[in-house]
Structure 1
Amino acid sequence: MVDTRVPSASYLCPRDGARADPSTTAWCCPVCGGPWDLDTGALPPVRLDALGGRVNSLWRYEEALPLAAPSVSLGEGRTPLVPLTDRVSAKLDYLMPTLSFKDRGAVMLAELASRLSPDRVVADSSGNAGTAVAAYCARAGLPCTVYVPEGTSPKKTEQIRAHGARPETVPGGREAAAAAARAAADVPGTFYASHVFNPYFLHGTKTYVYEIWEELGGTLPDAIAVPVGNGTLLLGAALATAELLAHGLIDRGPALIAVQADAVSPLAAAFRAGAEGLSGVPGRARATLAEGIAIPRPPRAGQILAAVRESGGTFLTVTEDQIRAAQRDLARRGLFVETTGVACWAAVGGVTDRSVVVPLCGAGLKTGLAP
């Protein structure tokens, strides 16, 4: 049975404690303008021995999800975990319905929107989040506009258009597209399907770690490496790890290794400086093949830095030449991955002293082979 109820969780601002009901379209904290967290109350544990026979998608972890019994699912999740070396394994999240890991969070946003019945949905993206939101809005029968920065891969804007959404190209970079979407989000009757500001997205991406935990028989690797721009996969990983630890389902959490392109690496610079946020950190940004993580000022910067430090992890950066080499290396192994999605393999592929899982986040068909 499809559950059409509006969820009972509440939005919570981690900065000032302000709250809002998810049945509203309040997309940010009215006090500070920052992104929401989600107060779900105490969620029951996901028991490994209870998973047999459940639906073969991320919705099998229903105890841990703030929404249940979805109406818009496309069977997302449960992607393969395959070894690349003796110590490094890859999770093939580019095998999702829209060919990227963003389906994990987009399905949660579209499910929430379908229960609120807005006049329209807007999103902003450099490509993958936009294509995922477009697809799931199509599934939900919701009109959708996606604001994308100029220079976005034509294949990604074509995919957005194919799903029936309207791509709006915004002059400038990723931040300009976000500003345009946020202005549109303030129009009454609009649901802002923000993969950055809306915490339901993070509760979708956390299933990445639940799947690794299940695949490894109730354990996690020594480290999990994730590409970081806005940090939605990393924060989802931290959320899942905290839940598994709280329920006694693991006895230690993995170190979180955050990977950025050297060309756009504000978080890595802040981490090395011992900063808690981006204040005082130069907003240096150059063109990069890793367009999906080219975010000069991520709104959840403080949370990302804290999560990496609390896990005992670190930040690594990769050059454009390393990205090119990693994409070709994976292709020779039978895995054609987009340029953003190879960043972690470029960073940790040579690790031999501990077990690491890397995500292959998007299909190579989205960007083609790097020149």
Structure 2
Amino acid sequence: MTDYQCAMCEVRSPVETLTWCCPQCRGPWDLDFAAGPVPRNSLSGRTNSLWRYEEALPLAAADASRGPQAVSLGEGRTPLVPLTETVTAKLDFLMPTLSFKDRGAVMLAELARHLKPRRVIADSSGNAGTSIAAYCARAGLDCTVYVPATTSQKKVEQISAHGARLDIVPGGREEAALAARAAADEDGVFYASHVYNPYFLHGTKTYVYEIWEDLGGRLPETLVVPAGNGTLLLGASLAIEELHSHGLIAERPALIAVQASAVAPLAFAFRAGADDILAPAATTPTLAEGIAIPNPPRARQILTAVRATGGTILTVTEDQIRAAQLDLAGRGLFVEPTGVACWAAIGAHGLDDRTTVVPLCGAGAKTGLALRE
């Protein structure tokens, strides 16, 4: 196995130690891993899940030490559906647990299966916790998920149904994260963090590999992605750099991140030209609960990734989110409010002048309809 490494401090740690963050700065880990080129013309006969891109993944799909097949629920390979002449939606809400978080959760569960911890813990506003719970169930791993008291009841029920223990934390998303991080310091605990553990990002990058495969070895001019903790955006950035470095794409698409205007520390920092967020955002209520992150630990990386592609960070209002959800539902696609943020940005900011792909990240059944006030 490879090592974790801290981009800020250059500290390294073997993955097997279960150290969940840099011991010096308490920042998130990166991974010392070099992806190989994925042979697009050889993919047709491979497994119909994200494990088909095995050359690009830090865990192999087949390994004698873990059995003939990695943990899987058939995640990935979600369809592309045109919304306009230039804008296409990728239906990532058609995942096993109804959100894109399955892309990263399967990697963390497979890693935990290899490491054999005493227990697995995670924190989430709902979707990541659901994914971790489901994949831990698939892998036969003991799991506890910390969620804020404001989490959608439907997501709480789904986490419980997968057999995970729930720890409902008073307060918001940040309080749940702090509680999980305290538990993560215990011996024998694997922190399946979709924020701190880089294996999650190497799972979410398959979102872009699938677009590249399905568009015949190319990418659109723009990729619009939601940004709270930035796990999809940073995975997309990894894939773009890997594909470009191997000569599999000629041009890098622009990465455009979208935040809810109610909680938008990344957008504020981007507009100010800052390298990091200037201050944690106020925890203002928003329909887009999945991206309402006041103080994202990977903020520096997110801002760097967006700027490196000539992209930008935009915001959408609550009314724009409501309107976008109803608009998509009228097109036959019922998506949760967080998952429609990118489609809201297309209309609000006129992003339909170039070929673009937007993710529809979570199913509407998870939260219901965002009714007008």
Query: How far has the Cα of 1:352 moved from its partner?
Result: 3.1
SS at match of 1:285: coil
Residues 298 and 37 from structure 1, CA distance in 2 versus in 1: closer, same or farther, beyond 3 angstroms? Answer: same
8 Å contact from structure 1 (residues 269, 281) kept in 2: no
Which whole-Å CA distance do the structure 1 matches of 2:110 and 2:210 have between them? 21
Could you say which residue in structure 2 is the equivalent of 1:68?
60
Q: 1:288 aligns with which of 286, 289, 297?
A: 286
Which whole-Å CA distance do the structure 2 matches of 1:99 and 1:283 have between them? 28
Could you say which residue in structure 2 is the equivalent of 1:33?
26
8 Å contact from structure 2 (residues 280, 294) kept in 1: no
Which is worse superposed, 88-97 or 15-24? 15-24
Answering whether residue 237 of structure 2 is matched by residue 238 of structure 1, we say yes
Query: How far has the Cα of 1:52 moved from its partner?
Result: 1.6
8 Å contact from structure 1 (residues 225, 256) kept in 2: yes
SS at match of 1:23: helix
Which is worse superposed, 168-177 or 153-162? 168-177
Could you say which residue in structure 1 is the equivalent of 2:66?
none
Which whole-Å CA distance do the structure 1 matches of 2:209 and 2:72 have between them? 18
Could you say which residue in structure 2 is the equivalent of 1:4?
none
Query: How far has the Cα of 1:72 moved from its partner?
Result: 1.5
Could you say which residue in structure 2 is the equivalent of 1:227?
226
- Residues 31-61 of structure 1 show CA distances to partners (whole Å, capped at 9, x for unaligned) of 1110000011x33200111112111111110
SS at match of 1:256: strand
Which whole-Å CA distance do the structure 2 matches of 1:247 and 1:282 have between them? 38
Consecutive unaligned residues of structure 2, counting only runs of 5 or more, are 62-68
Residue identity opposite 1:30 in structure 2: P
Could you say which residue in structure 1 is the equivalent of 2:366?
366
Which whole-Å CA distance do the structure 2 matches of 1:299 and 1:352 have between them? 31
* Amino-acid identity (%): 73
Which whole-Å CA distance do the structure 2 matches of 1:31 and 1:23 have between them? 18
Residue identity opposite 2:47 in structure 1: V
8 Å contact from structure 1 (residues 87, 351) kept in 2: no
Query: How far has the Cα of 1:348 moved from its partner?
Result: 1.0
Residue identity opposite 2:102 in structure 1: D
Which whole-Å CA distance do the structure 2 matches of 1:353 and 1:140 have between them? 44
Q: 2:336 aligns with which of 332, 335, 338?
A: 338
SS at match of 1:99: coil
Query: How far has the Cα of 1:285 moved from its partner?
Result: 3.0
Q: 2:17 aligns with which of 17, 24, 32?
A: 24
Query: How far has the Cα of 1:282 moved from its partner?
Result: 5.4
Which whole-Å CA distance do the structure 1 matches of 2:281 and 2:262 have between them? 11
Could you say which residue in structure 2 is the equivalent of 1:3?
none
8 Å contact from structure 1 (residues 120, 143) kept in 2: yes
8 Å contact from structure 2 (residues 280, 295) kept in 1: no
Within-5 A mapping of 1:52-131: 52-69=44-61, 70-131=69-130
Which whole-Å CA distance do the structure 1 matches of 2:59 and 2:36 have between them? 13
8 Å contact from structure 1 (residues 230, 299) kept in 2: yes
8 Å contact from structure 1 (residues 318, 347) kept in 2: yes
Which whole-Å CA distance do the structure 1 matches of 2:37 and 2:122 have between them? 32
Residue identity opposite 1:270 in structure 2: A
Within-5 A mapping of 1:1-371: 8-40=1-33, 42-69=34-61, 70-278=69-277, 280-281=278-279, 283-349=281-347, 350-371=350-371
TM-score normalised by structure 1 residue count: 0.96
Which whole-Å CA distance do the structure 2 matches of 1:131 and 1:259 have between them? 23
SS at match of 2:17: coil
- Residues 132-162 of structure 1 show CA distances to partners (whole Å, capped at 9, x for unaligned) of 0000000011111100011100000000000
SS at match of 2:328: helix
Which whole-Å CA distance do the structure 2 matches of 1:183 and 1:281 have between them? 23
Which whole-Å CA distance do the structure 2 matches of 1:46 and 1:369 have between them? 40
SS at match of 1:191: strand
Which whole-Å CA distance do the structure 2 matches of 1:352 and 1:152 have between them? 33
Which whole-Å CA distance do the structure 2 matches of 1:38 and 1:254 have between them? 23
Query: How far has the Cα of 1:194 moved from its partner?
Result: 0.2
SS at match of 2:341: helix
Query: How far has the Cα of 1:248 moved from its partner?
Result: 0.4
Residue identity opposite 1:218 in structure 2: G
